[in-house]
Amino acid sequence: RALRRRLPRRPSGPPGVTPAPTRHPLQPPYPHPYRFVLNQPHKCRERAPFLVLLVATEPTDIAGRHAIRQTWGNESAVPGVSILRLFLLGTQPVFSAALRAALEEENHLHRDLLQQDFWDTYHNLTLKTLMGMEWVTRHCPGAAYVLKADRDVFLNLPYLVRRFLLPPKKNFITGYVYRNTGPLRRKAYKWYVPRQVYPAATYPPYCGGAAYVLSGDLAGKIYRVAQTLPVINMEDAFVGICLRALGVGVTDSPWGVFNMYHVEYERCRFSRLVMVHHFQPHELLRIWPHFTAPNATCQDELRPRR
Ligand SMILES: *[C@@H]1O[C@H](CO)[C@@H](O)[C@H](O)[C@H]1NC(C)=O
Ligand SMILES: *[C@@H]1O[C@H](CO)[C@@H](O)[C@H](O)[C@H]1NC(C)=O
Ligand SMILES: *[C@@H]1O[C@H](CO)[C@@H](O)[C@H](O)[C@H]1NC(C)=O
């Protein structure tokens, strides 16, 4: 309850922080009192998980979620480590009754969907991340770590936990770190950021959005400071903007551990990395039995053998 009082008040009328007088269409409306359409407010009651997985998916991506639950998103993937998995969804601009029913059914079965009433579009991805941070802040503040991932990644959570997360840290964030990059100003790009949305030429250092991991305390700090900053349409760069406002640095990861490009599957190589981007759910299903086969051995492998 004390926590709730410290949370920033959601503006109902004119907010305390003055937004840009005219919002560019690519600028996600924020702060804004988005409502949870699907929520799991009690998931953390019995146990404070070590790691909360927040996976951004589109509402229609039922097959992708299914593959992730059976592979790296399996909550029992790391023996002795409590993992809590949640998918982040917005709403479809055209939202059919059939899809709504399918999602309710899926949520009834797995209890792992979070959905708020903003449009699920590429330029609104920042709202998805902030929904995840809001959930951790309100409903799971005792989590040691939070991992935000996209749906098209391979993740090796046992390696992540053993190599990078023990003992638990504070004010910590790592991933594939971008430094000295700036917004793309050409309208043709998917990643176009208008000057009106972000006028500066460079971003602060940030972790690529495919997958990054942060200590649980930072989730609350990012959520709170986000209420006071102009939100931009690049979710990963926006987290960097929040970190700069908080005076928190990003921690580099060793080369080859977080891969922003596709890497061909090779069991021993994959056992010594955390993330490979552009790995589709059907590929995950294909390699997973081989990757987790108990009889395989690799040198320097950091996972339990036999
Ligand atoms: C998750 O992993 C456990 C332990 O390896 C296994 O028994 C279970 O079937 C897996 N769940 C899914 C949905 O694949
Ligand atoms: C983002 O979501 C809001 C709220 O649903 C909507 O008004 C806005 O048009 C969306 N923005 C984009 C670029 O899709
Ligand atoms: C594990 O053993 C089985 C049966 O002997 C074999 O078919 C499989 O290829 C082995 N897996 C690995 C990764 O070596």
What are the distances in angstroms from CA 154 to CA 19, 93, 134, 278? 38, 29, 25, 8
Summarize pLDDT for 20-34 with one digit per residue, the tens: 568 999 999 999 999
Residue 77 in contact with residue 83, Cβ under 8 Å?
yes
Overall average pLDDT of the 165-176 stretch: 97
**Does residue 19 surpass a pLDDT of 80?**
no
Which CATH number goes with the domain that contains 38? Answer: 3.90.550.10
Asked whether residue 296 is assigned to any structural domain, the reply reads: no
Summarize pLDDT for 256-303 with one digit per residue, the tens: 999 999 999 999 999 999 999 999 999 999 999 999 998 777 865 555
Taking the centre of ligand 1 as the mean of its atom positions, its distance from the CA of residue 77, in whole angstroms, is 7
Q: In degrees, to the nearest 5, what angle opens at C-alpha 189 toward C-alphas 185 and 191? A: 75
Ligand lying nearest the CA atom of residue 270: 3
Overall average pLDDT of the 48-72 stretch: 97
**Does residue 89 surpass a pLDDT of 50?**
yes
% of the chain surpassing 90 pLDDT = 84
Token pair belonging to 87: 């998918």
* Probe residue for ligand 2, chosen from 27, 92, 119, 122 as the CB with the greatest number of ligand atoms within 8 Å: 119
14 vs 125, residue with greater confidence: 125
Count of structural domains within the chain: 1
| Alpha carbon nearest to ligand 3 atom 2, residue | 295
Question: pLDDT-based confidence at 118, cuts 50/70/90?
Answer: very high
Lowest mean pLDDT, pick from 9-13, 62-66, 199-203, 233-237: 9-13
Ligand lying nearest the CA atom of residue 95: 2
Measured CA to CA, the distance from residue 165 to residue 54 in angstroms comes to: 17
Write down the pLDDT at residue 134: 98
Asked whether residue 283 is assigned to any structural domain, the reply reads: yes
Taking the centre of ligand 2 as the mean of its atom positions, its distance from the CA of residue 268, in whole angstroms, is 43
Ligand 3, residue 294: give the atom nearest the CA: 1
302 vs 189, residue with greater confidence: 189
Ligand lying nearest the CA atom of residue 65: 1
Write down the pLDDT at residue 11: 46
Taking the centre of ligand 1 as the mean of its atom positions, its distance from the CA of residue 284, in whole angstroms, is 14
Taking the centre of ligand 1 as the mean of its atom positions, its distance from the CA of residue 79, in whole angstroms, is 11
Asked whether residue 12 is assigned to any structural domain, the reply reads: no
Taking the centre of ligand 1 as the mean of its atom positions, its distance from the CA of residue 27, in whole angstroms, is 40
Question: pLDDT-based confidence at 148, cuts 50/70/90?
Answer: very high
**Does residue 4 surpass a pLDDT of 60?**
no
Write down the pLDDT at residue 299: 65
Token pair belonging to 19: 């937004």
- SS3 letters for the chain? CHHHHHCCCCCCCCCCCCCCCCCCCCCCCCCCCCCEEECCCCCCCCCCCCEEEEEECCCCCHHHHHHHHHCCCCCCCCCCCCEEEEEEEEECCCCCHHHHHHHHHHHHHHCCEEEEEEECCHHHHHHHHHHHHHHHHHHCCCCCEEEEEECCEEECHHHHHHHHHCCCCCCCEEECEECCCCCECCCCCCCECCCCCCCCCCCCCEECCCEEEEEHHHHHHHHHHHCCCCCCCCHHHHHHHHHHHHCCCCEECCCCCEECCCCCCCHHHHCCCCEEECCCHHHHHHHHHHHCCCCCCCCCCCCCCC
Asked whether residue 252 is assigned to any structural domain, the reply reads: yes
Asked whether residue 185 is assigned to any structural domain, the reply reads: yes
Write down the pLDDT at residue 21: 63
Write down the pLDDT at residue 8: 53
Asked whether residue 65 is assigned to any structural domain, the reply reads: yes
Asked whether residue 306 is assigned to any structural domain, the reply reads: no
**Does residue 200 surpass a pLDDT of 50?**
yes
Asked whether residue 1 is assigned to any structural domain, the reply reads: no
Overall average pLDDT of the 222-242 stretch: 98
Mean pLDDT of the chain: 91
pTM equals 0.90
| Alpha carbon nearest to ligand 2 atom 5, residue | 118
**Domain that residue 249 falls in:** 26-291
| Alpha carbon nearest to ligand 3 atom 14, residue | 296
Taking the centre of ligand 2 as the mean of its atom positions, its distance from the CA of residue 118, in whole angstroms, is 6
